[in-house]
Amino acid sequence: MYDRLTLISGRAHPALAQEIADYLGLPLGPVELGNFPDGEISVRLEHNIRGRDVFLVQPTGPPVNENLMELLIIIDACKRASAERITAVIPYFGYARQDRKDAGRVPITAKLVANLITKAGADRVLTMDLHAAQIQGFFDVPVDHLYAGPILDEYFQSLRLPRDEIVVVSPDEGSIKRSLQHVSRLGGRLAIVDKRRSSATETKQANLIGGPIEGKTALLFDDMISTAGSIVGAAEVAKAHGAKDIYISASHAVLCGPAVSRLREAPVREIVVSNSLPIPPEKRLPNMKIISVAPLLGEAIRRIHRNESVSKLFD
């Protein structure tokens, strides 16, 4: 069934790549990865991939520049080794925040990175929970865009929370559509935190719209937790408005800067994230639940390889 499929991992998240390989019942293709003395990345494929359908697993999270450059170099190596098709499996797509010109004299890095990946030789991209859905259109190759939301919701459903006690809280206006999808699966009401951005790194949470939330269980969803300022601020607003229990959840646990200390002090019962990015032991908190997306990515890879529909997995 997989006689022409080759699965390769970069150094960004080998544990996730191994989980995907286990789901598919395949070994990871051997690749020699290292660095020259000056820091340049060295790549050598240690097996024949001529005419094969190659899937390269490499999220471009921190260190972003290192992981992105490694992705491009491995794609180039696969192209020059005569792979028939190369799919870049990027569970977390870095450089996605700047997806438009919202000020004068700024770049559109999401488009730049899409161009780099395409020019390097990728024939297809498989990604998950892009920071902005329109980034799919930045690529000149097919993009399969998956969502971790249903998998995260399955976990919350397993907690048997009463539907009439749930309030799904959108941490900002931009997350309303995502929050409504969670409401449709989990039940409950929708509330929105009015967030005002004061700089590129600082936000201020103001009012809570909707609800009521007093005595209820608040579930906060976002696409990523970076410095955790937004989602922890939203949790504090929910607490101030009388929420009984608070859970926060995100597809991508970037966890940079003061994120871990903020999450440790946040008034939340549990932090639920996916393993789209590696989470080192020092960043794992006692109340953190990590949900694997390997079956989702593995099933998408299986369907793409066999030219079957992937649209069912988008939901």
Residues identified as active-site: 195
First to last CA, the chain: 26
Q: According to DSSP H, which parts of 25-140 are helical?
A: 64-80, 109-120
Q: For residue 198, what are its two tokens?
A: 């004061």
Please give the Cα distance from 85 to 245 (Å, whole number).
48
Ordered DSSP codes for 291-304:
E--HHHHHHHHHHH
Three-state DSSP state, 51 = coil
Structure tokens belonging to residue 287: 């109340």
Q: Do the beta carbons of residue 189 and residue 248 sit within 8 Å?
A: no
C-beta atoms surrounding 129 within 10 Å? 24
**Residue 288 backbone dihedrals phi, psi, to 5 degrees:** -100, 130
CA–CA dist 59, 214 (Å, integer): 39
User: Measured at the alpha carbon of residue 244, what is the angle toward residues 240 and 248, in degrees to the nearest 5?
Assistant: 80
| Interatomic CA distance for residues 170 and 215, integer angstroms | 18
